[in-house]
Structure 1
Amino acid sequence: MKNLMRLGGIMLLAIISITSCKKDSRPLDLSLTPVGTLASPNDNEDIALDPTSQASVLFKWEPATSENGTLILYEIAFDKEGGDFSNPVYKTVSDGGGVDAQITITHKQLNKIASMAGIQSLSTGKLKWTVIASKGTNNKVGTVSRTLQVDRPAGFAENPAELYLTGSATEGGTDITKAVKLKKIEDGVFEIYTSLKAGDYLLTDKPGDGGKQYYVENGVIKEGSTPITVSGSQKAYRLNFDFTSATAKSLEIQSIGLYMSAYNTEIGTLNYTSNGTFEAANVPVEFYQFSWGRDERYKFILHTAAGMEYMGSSNANNVAPAGQPASYFYLVPVTNAQWDNTYKFDPSADGKHVKVDVMFTPDAYTHKVTVL
């Protein structure tokens, strides 16, 4: 009997609780008045985009309103000139996670948006923009919009994160999985020391199917699958591709000289082998005798089709190589100063022969000296 009474009490409380909840429930107020005033930038303002800088544009508007003053979120929307924002080319939330009635957009991002709207590099075009206000599931496009005229510079709006060479003219051949990777010098700038032979090649951002492809026409990088043709005998080159300016450079590297400072001359010649490596298999080394001791300093000279370039250490003065980190052997462009930015041979190289390798890899430009 007591159990029945206890069960009945529990059921009565549940009924009261459910009834109470029903009485307290209220319909959700999603009323919203859309954005009706845009503050900046001015309509038809002309902006010369500089995506390589930190420049930005502030977009501001008067807040939307709702009857109960609850939270409103904002998105700025961009469309092509003449578009109605039914399918905008780009949308993003405002500052403050969508709460603020403004957003700061960099020139770099605006350059990408202009590209999405079909405005080509080195051309001028117009973007339309407005603000979408939302409250819950209720989204309302602004009742007003403005036009922004943008002048795009040369270069790509979206730079590849990686870059590879592939094709019959390359060391990797036509197998895309063996595409040769370039070194990323900085954002949008890539470089490689490699050999090219008669045939053709393309640039791609992926060593596999589905990657974007690029080619070069009259020194200008373009997106597409038109092959770059190479003729003549196989030669070593330094290739540079700058997507920020859409420019490409090619320079033949004829050989690399092993320059010894004390003699002020080259004591050996490194020739190209493969995979970005130049090698001198057997070079006699004799330290120079000064009154204070024997001098062992050296660096490298690149002999190119355009003249000589010097490469050496980032340190103006160096210590002996024993116990030094891998970065000791890294190569950077240096001046032709006889004594500056040199390395030092290991003392065991004096009066011996050495094998010297210079490696230009995607990870580092470096070298190795092996005493024979």
Structure 2
Amino acid sequence: MKTHKFFKVAMLLLLTGLAACDNERNPGFNPNDYEPIVAPDPVHTLDAMASGERVVLSSSSLTDIVLKWTPTTAHGNTVYRYEVLIDTIGGDFTNPVEISLSDNNGLEPQLTLSHYQANAIGKLAKFRCNTNGTLRWKVRAYCGLDDSISSLEGFFIIFMMDGIDNIPSEDEPIYITGAGTEDNGDETRALQMLRQDDGIYQTFVRLKANQPYVFMANVGGQKCYYYSDERGILRERNEGEKYTMQVDKEGIYRITINMGEQSISYDEIGDVWLYNISGNYRQDFNYLGYGKWGIVNYTARKQTESWAASGETRHSFKMMINGTEYRWGNRGRDEGAPNLDTDDNYYNLYLLATGTDGWDYSFRFCDDLLQWGEPSNGVYQATVKTDITLYFNADFGVYTHRWVASETNGN
């Protein structure tokens, strides 16, 4: 019995001793042993780009814009990061146009902006190209969820890069209008330009000498006008401006504008005609207005050749552009003859490179439509008169042409 009691007492002492050791190794949480988390002090001093400095933005500039400030006071070993809040005149920084981490992932007391970045911020602020805009900025210092925003604010002025603010989308057509055009200034009758590619548009139009015209589009519900300045640079009219263009010589022009490059080019158009290489036959077309050329009551002809006893029908369309002869032809190099069911794409017009073989990329007549008579001196003539129209406009979304039977055939 004594041995058993001794064992119980020994075990009790051992457990007590172990508990005492645990208390020494794990004394529990002591706030005095930890550095307290302190919210950062706000930035009090703005050092650069804070007093109305003006920067002319340029795509070729190699000099960055640097916003600088004096770091906030550090508490112990706490690491603070910085964000720059950028707003416009009238903004209250609750919804700034831009929030950017400072350099080195927020650790540096400065923000470096390229001219492109500053221009992008200006666009967010709705600044128009080629105009001044004022940007205001504050600094937010933060650590974890704690932050403070400087009560001071800086401001600087940027002169926006050259460009066009409102470039129409693919579904927003551009028109040419004005007293100098064929609509005589009636915008409801304006001629739509054909979209060639992103930002590139073209039209064929008769212009009056020394009469105004301008380009027009509805972009995002806003009516916009475009013109070329005295240097030939394409620009968008600002509110209240009335800039237009004019030509010194009346005539038919091909006008091409490139919104991205802000360029505009003019080509003077002369004669337009149908050309059969077999027999060297030419049929002149009349300008019908609104980018269309054509002829009515036309009697087609084809000439026999050693390889074509029933007549050679290959033909194309020629146009004088700036005094040089160009040919409009087929997409395929050697397409067969169409019939009444042939897809309209067959008739699309493509400007061929000068020097292209005259037989290649030609169209062929539709025998089903023309209904040839008997040959005379090796030449066949169609018994069905036709109206031919060349569409150098946006009516079909591509330059093309159509043949239809003339109404006079029934008389």
TM-score, normalised by the number of residues in structure 1: 0.61
Aligned counterparts of 1:153 and 1:266: Cα–Cα separation in 2: 54
Deviation at 1:365, TM superposition (A): 1.0
Distance 1:195 1:266, change over 3 A: farther
Aligned position for 2:392:
360
Task: Supply the distance in 2 between the matched residues of 1:155 and 1:172 (Cα, whole angstroms).
Answer: 28
Structure 2 match to 1:253: 269
Distance 1:371 1:295, change over 3 A: farther
User: Partner letter of residue 160 of structure 1?
Assistant: P
Q: Cα distance 1:177–1:371, how it changes in 2: closer, same or farther (>3 A)?
A: closer
- How big is the shift at 1:232? 4.6
2:255 is equivalent to residue 239 of structure 1 = yes
Letter in 1 for 2:305: F
Q: Give the match's secondary structure for 1:327.
A: helix
The C-alpha deviation readout for 1:4-25, integer Å capped at 9, x for no partner, is xxxxxxxxxxxxxxxxxxxxxx
Tell me the equivalent position of 2:214: 202
**From 326, 335, 338, the counterpart of 1:309:** 326
SS of alignment partner, residue 188 of structure 2: helix
Does residue 1:335 correspond to 2:335, yes or no? Answer: no
Distance 1:278 1:253 in 2: 12
Match of 1:344 in 2: 364
Pairwise CA RMSD of aligned residues? Answer: 4.9
Q: Which runs of 5+ in 1 are unaligned?
A: 1-31, 37-46, 51-74, 95-100, 102-106
Relative distance call for 1:220 and 1:130 in structure 2 (3 A) is: same
CA contact (8 A) 1:251 1:306 kept: no
Q: Does the 8 Å CA contact 1:78/1:88 hold for their aligned counterparts?
A: no
Aligned residues: 293
Residue in structure 1 matched with residue 52 of structure 2 by the alignment: none
1:296 equivalenced with 2:309 (yes/no)? no
Amino acid of the structure 2 residue aligned with 1:221? L
Shift of 1:118: 4.9
Q: Which residue of 2 aligns with 1:324?
A: 342
Displacement of 1:163: 1.4
CA distance in 2, matches of 1:131, 1:258: 71
- Change in 2 beyond 3 A, CA 1:301/1:127: farther
Is 1:269 matched up with 2:284?
yes
Q: Does the CA-based 8 Å contact 1:317-1:340 persist in structure 2?
A: yes
Q: Measure, in 1, the Cα distance between the counterparts of 2:182 and 2:304.
A: 44
Paired residues for 1:62-211 under 5 Å? 86=92, 91=97, 113-115=121-123, 118=127, 120=129, 155-161=163-169, 162-198=173-209, 199-206=211-218, 211=223
Q: CA deviation at 1:91?
A: 4.1
Larger Rg: 2
Shift of 1:369: 2.3
- Cα distance between partner residues in 1 of 2:159 and 2:302: 60
Q: Distance in 2 between matches of 1:341 and 1:141?
A: 70
Q: Cα–Cα, structure 1 residues 325 and 200, in superposed 2: closer, same or farther, change >3 Å?
A: same
Q: CA deviation at 1:88?
A: 10
CA deviations over 1:57-79 (Å, ceiling 9, x no partner):
xxxxxxxxxxxxxxxxxx99666
2:301 aligned residue (275, 282, 286): 286
> Equivalents in 2 of 1:257, 1:133: separation in Å?
74
| Structure 2: runs of 5+ lacking an equivalent | 1-38, 44-56, 61-82, 101-105, 107-114, 373-380, 407-411
Identity of aligned residues (%): 21
The 3 A distance-change label for structure 1 pair 284 and 302 is same
Match of 2:245? 228
